[in-house]
Amino acid sequence: MIFITSDLFFSDQLTKSSLFFLFFLSLTGLAALIISAFFDQKETKIILVSIFLVAELFLFSSFAGIIFSVSKKFRFMKSLMLSVLILFIIVLLVFIKVISFQDDRLIYESGNQKANSAVILGAAVWGGNRPSPVLKERINKGYEIYKKNLVTKLVLTGGGSPNELTEGEVSKNVLLKYGVAPENLILENQSGSTVEQIQFVRDSLYSAQNWKKIILVSDNFHLYRATEICRFNDINSDCIASDKELSPAGTITFCIKESFALIFFWMSGI
């Protein structure tokens, strides 16, 4: 948390209203962060942590502008524009990393490298309990890894909406039709996010069964964040992308969303 230093607080070149605004903003951000710890609902946590992050970014920009400006005065619009510029640069750098990310398929081409399981990360389910094209390609890639004997287990993750099968259950049904033995399928059907899916793997499988490595299966734009979540949770993971092709516009859109999601995860762990 960035706090107002005593030198800036007592500077006669800062108006009392400016000082009050910055002090109030710092308290608001800190309060939002503390309150978020008392909520289990994901959406509420995201809103509260977002308030904290926005407050932090604006405070950092404001003090940077004050320190490096000639007048040493707080200017709201200048701080706002500086905040936007800093956010743009951060998102751009993360976006380049996400869109240029390469999976680990090459190290598995020889068939000598093995892992304990492939974790098929959930995606949308369509009407009639059908996997969406995105989920279907993830299932197919997981099945391909299984058939090559790179893993002995497939972990199927993802919750769902009421009155329909979950993402994990739909994946399981497809793989059973492909002929995968039921005992080699591990179902997780309660999660609502990638973080929750990987936490399930960590708590119920990776640590409990002393696994050494997993293979994450998802779209390429999603895998950088997924591997970062695994690293945060001390899970040794490789990743292999599905064969789902996206249009250039779709690729850019999904990578931008992933960039913001990744930054949010780094800052909040959500």
Tokens of 104: 């680990």
Instruction: Assess whether pLDDT exceeds 50 at residue 12.
Output: no
**What's the DSSP call for residue 233?**
T
Tokens of 231: 């690293």
Instruction: Assess whether pLDDT exceeds 70 at residue 154.
Output: yes
Read off the pLDDT of residues 16-43 as tens digits, 9 standing for 90 and up. Answer: 777 788 888 889 988 988 898 888 777 7
The whole-angstrom separation of Cα 265 and Cα 178 is 35
Given its phi and psi angles, is residue 256 left (phi above 0), alpha (psi -120 to 50 degrees) or beta? Answer: alpha
What pLDDT does residue 10 have? 42
Q: Read off the pTM.
A: 0.83
- The one-letter code for the residue type at 194 is T
Read off the pLDDT of residues 44-69 as tens digits, 9 standing for 90 and up. Answer: 887 888 888 888 888 888 888 777 77
Instruction: Assess whether pLDDT exceeds 70 at residue 8.
Output: no
Tokens of 211: 């696994």
Sheet holding 117-120: strands in order across? 185-187, 153-156, 117-120, 214-218, 237-241
> Regarding predicted confidence, which is higher, 52 or 173?
173
CA angle 31, 34, 35 (to 5 degrees): 85
* Strand ranges, E, within 102-233: 117-120, 125-126, 130-131, 153-156, 185-187, 214-218
Average pLDDT, the chain: 89
Instruction: Assess whether pLDDT exceeds 70 at residue 140.
Output: yes
Residue carrying the six token digits 């591990």: 186
Distances in Å between the Cα of 69 and the Cα atoms of 59, 66, 216 are 15, 5, 48
* CA nearest neighbour of 213 among 155, 136, 134: 155
The whole-angstrom separation of Cα 142 and Cα 153 is 10
The whole-angstrom separation of Cα 192 and Cα 172 is 17
Please check whether residue 215 is in contact with residue 119, taking contact to mean a CB–CB distance below 8 angstroms: yes
HEC string of 12-48 equals: CCCCHHHHHHHHHHHHHHHHHHHHHCCCCCHHHHHHH
